A and B are shown apart, each in its own frame.
Chain A
Amino acid sequence: MQVIDSRREGSTRRSFYIGAIYGIWAAIAASLTLPAFAYLLFPPKARREDEWVEVGDVTKLAPDTPVEMSFRRNRVDGWKITSEKSTAWVVKHSDNTVTAFGPQCTHLGCAYHWDERKTEFLCPCHNSLFAVDGRVVSGPAPRPLDRYETKIEGKKLLLGRLREGDKA
């Protein structure tokens, strides 16, 4: 049977067809993939302000001796809000200010503890050592301990957001 070979069709018309095909498919692909990237990569809109959580009585703390204090806080986890137990290592300084460290080593997230003999924080996983002010003394930890925002109302210690310790 006879066939009209499209490759020999009028060349302007043919290139118009081909140009339109490429252009339209590019437009469709862009209008599907760009929203998809935004959807997958942009962080979700925050639902609530960070709440301050009451942790305990600061007057009972001995100066410069870290104490692990536990508390419950609401965590927004996707579409869920879960109440979970959390802890902080709280240090009261001699000038009555308070620092509260996040409970995980900044190296790989192990739980560290206060070594009373060395008077340093020791992470048992890879032997990172942190000073009482959160500084890295030795070991693989890349940055100082993370700190909670703190606020003292009367005798009560309130904790806010956990902030990453700076490298400096």
Chain B
Amino acid sequence: MEITVAELRKAFTKAGYITDEEVLITVYLSLKLEKPLLIEGEPGVGKTELAKVLASVFETELIRLQCYEGLDENKALYEWNYQRQLLKIQISKEAACGDDLEQNLFSREYLLERPLLQAIQSDKKVVLLIDEVDKTDEEFEAFLFEVLSDFQVSVPELGTLQAQQIPMVILTSNNERELSDGLKRRCIYLYLDYPSVEREVAIIQARLPDVGEKLSGEIARAMAVMRADQEIRKKPSVAETLDWAQALLAMEKDRLTDTIIEQTLNLILKSKADQKAFAKNIGSARLAEAARAEK
């Protein structure tokens, strides 16, 4: 696929990812400049989904590195298959062959490739998703931006391994901590916010065409009201919007009423504290009214 903004728009829509010009142009720039794309935003706005869509649009593999506290190079880049090496030593002892054993033990055969190395060594241009990078330690982050600026890694026993194809790199962050300037400098940046009511209606319509236009609008407006409440901690995500729409579809409802909202509230707000905050600040009746009030 030729990389242009228009082509990306077409392909994203075809894949059911409804988005705006800002996202499209930013993704386009990241691809053309071959720079990692750092996406920040609240949980559930579609950061990870963007990487999946890119992989499907370019019909390529998605390699995912899920970050967590304590993630280190061994889990992200490579490690030697220690157990296999030991077995080889045991077998060699009995077979009494040993001259080139050491060389063999540190060959590709004993190398366990982890996501970063897999992406660099892939023959095809892949999408490398480094998910929730804000959960890693600062030292791992420093190591990461070394890899991302040169797209090569050094394995002491094998030498430097250069990327065959520069992967499309997507980093996501929930903004739980500020990432270093070094990492940010190397990336194109995109802040993804919750979709506007109009865009959320379009998303529902694209994913669940059976949900009527009226109900889609009501769902989207209801979601916007809930997300605007400061006391609701876990704001409902786009995935939850779709779950809710699907549930309403299964219940054969075509309008939002306070009773339906009460019956299905636990699909959107999943903690006792959030449900209490909702009851206190908004309430089902007011939400139904706000949802039905078309601008």
Co-complex (A, B)? no
Residues of B whose CB lies within 8 Å of any CB of A are none
Residues of A whose CB lies within 8 Å of any CB of B are none
